[in-house]
Structure 1
Amino acid sequence: MSRFLQLHLLTFYPPSNVNRDDSGNPKTATVGGVTRLRISSQALKRAWRTSGVFSSALDGHMGQRTTRLGGEVLAHLLENKVDEKKAVSIAREIAGVYGKVKGEKDEHPTRTEQLVFVSPSEREAAFEVADRLAAGEKIDLKKEQDALLHRADSAADIALFGRMLASAPAFNREAAVQVAHAITTHRVTVEDDYYTAIDDLKDDAEDAGAGFLGEAGFGSGVFYLYLSINRDLLKKNLGGESETGVAEAALGALAEAAMTVSPSGKQNSYAALARAGYALVEKGNAQPRTLAGAFARPVGGADLMAESIKALKDFRAELTRVYGAGADETCELALGDKKSATLADIVTFCRT
């Protein structure tokens, strides 16, 4: 089986603001001396991980990134009639295995200071250890770390995107998937949307003014997105779960989500629910490489998608000429080409 899987996607977003900066405008980057729209890899991964695609394909194998595991342990103990003071103490002990716990006088004393990625089996293990402590068993939680933390192997999203535990670095997971920031293949201008809201109960005789005035930035363009997946590392991260098809399901879900799921920013205002217009998926053992260099010089013309596809193919061909083939197998989808692959074909190609 080929070690690396690479996805190169071109997706058109209509006027929208799916990923905002601190001022509320679309995120941008200067590439090739001109401004491009940008969607951060963090926004993309969050959208994919919380999508229906992931939840249906990986039911029972999804972790939770939260500060509230201790709160769940507390609720579990209280439900089992454990004294509240004792339950809080136990919940704080358990949460402390995963990260630094907030102060005892804090409004939420069982929460951790930082978000922690926890697998379903780790959550159940936390409940089990909490029950043992509540029953009076003397437990050295440092020695119980293996029981509480090694079970991340059941969570596909942790295996894909990795996790960092500052309090227990031995249980970190290196991400099997590298996701680039998506950028437009061409120059863009961020535009301002001036809008008003009218008070429905205001009498026309009062005044003609609006009840609210505001501005919001937006932009549009063809985005290039690149993903590189180390399939060997994914299976290693999943441990024995790879034997049950979780790794294959995770790869299929990732490909489908990357091609069909958009970040949620300002979607109620713009409905920018996009689908990839072009996808090139590669398998092989050669060192992965992005094709973003195809757009170091911004493309132009009336058909930005067609020009972007051409630039990507030309750049890839030149890389192949100079460095040799970057993949052993490929699968290609292009809207408008009746002979191209479908989404189902891409998902199957990624899974096998």
Structure 2
Amino acid sequence: MRPVPSVNVHAVKMRQSDKELFSFFIRGAHILELADIARLKHSAGSEIQGFQRPEIKAHVKAIADYLSGGDVLFPNAIILAIAADAKFLQKRGTKNASVDSASEVGVLSIPVRAGRKSAWIVDGQQRALALAGSGVPDLYVPVVAFVSSDITVHREQFILVNKARPLDKRLIDELLPTVGTVLPRDLSTRRLPSLLCAALADTPGSPFHQLVKRPSHAYHSAVVNDSTLINLMRRSLQDPRGALAAHVDTDGTADTDSMYRLLVSFWAAVKDVFPQAWGLPPDRSRLMHSVGLTAMGILMDQVMTRPGNFGGDYVAAKTILTRIAPYCRWTEGRWEALDRDWNDLQSTNKDQRLLSNYLIQLERDVSRASAA
């Protein structure tokens, strides 16, 4: 049996937690021979695969042009995850009492296989693409690699590396539900709304099924940005009086099943009470616009926390929404009490407050009148 060819590099090895780390230099043109780019996409079963953004061609070309310009400095390390079958052979005689003993020096051998790569790019895909297309075969670049074939670990590191960079927050939000490890506090608080958003978008029977636009894909029927839903759920969780916050125990444990049922009950009622406005593009329906969804999300907190409706009663929600329906102008006409045309309301804090305050007061008024 012929041995699997490999790329051999001088490397420094150390360990962090339960992972082996390596630092080395390699020809930039070889990186894509070893490493795959796990693009963010959805499988046929709507499971998230990969994590990397699409290639930014203009960015890649700019880097490639720079590299092709001659005498260049390229000190930015590319981060790789490598498979466990990479072999490290420590060099003899490298121990030195005056050197920190946390690291070892040796030769790292990374297999080069046809079809199935031995590594995955965690950070630096645009640079790797530029290096491959630059026509500069002998430029050596720094690499930091850790041993792991677990896509969840790759995603976690991708998020952490890009957290302080101008990475699309929607991309982070979509990836968060797939990361099960401990994250910084600000990301952990974002994880639950992202998980609920994914469930609403992908579950048949959800009123938002195939209506949500996400970085990885968008159904032809998608009309709602995931960030709008995530933000309204985050607000409901952070407000002690919020409908979702009511399903978080004092120890911080969240009853996600109850939250999901509540969301489905309320928004299914919205869909059924306003069928002519549901599922249309935002320029044809202000209900599907961020200003309408945000205002209705705030109304949800009032409607679904009412005594007797804690469990998210669809019938109760529909009854309440039916009472306010005659006063709503989602697709045509004019909001008389606001003195605004239906399509004049925009995604500004001022308009969101204006509409949400009106809907809250309207619901209170019609509910009192109905009880009288």
TM-score (norm 1): 0.30
**Which structure has the greater CA radius of gyration?**
2
Which has a greater percent of strand?
A: 1
Which structure's relative contact order is higher, taking Cα pairs within 8 Å and 6+ residues apart? 1
TM-score (norm 2): 0.29
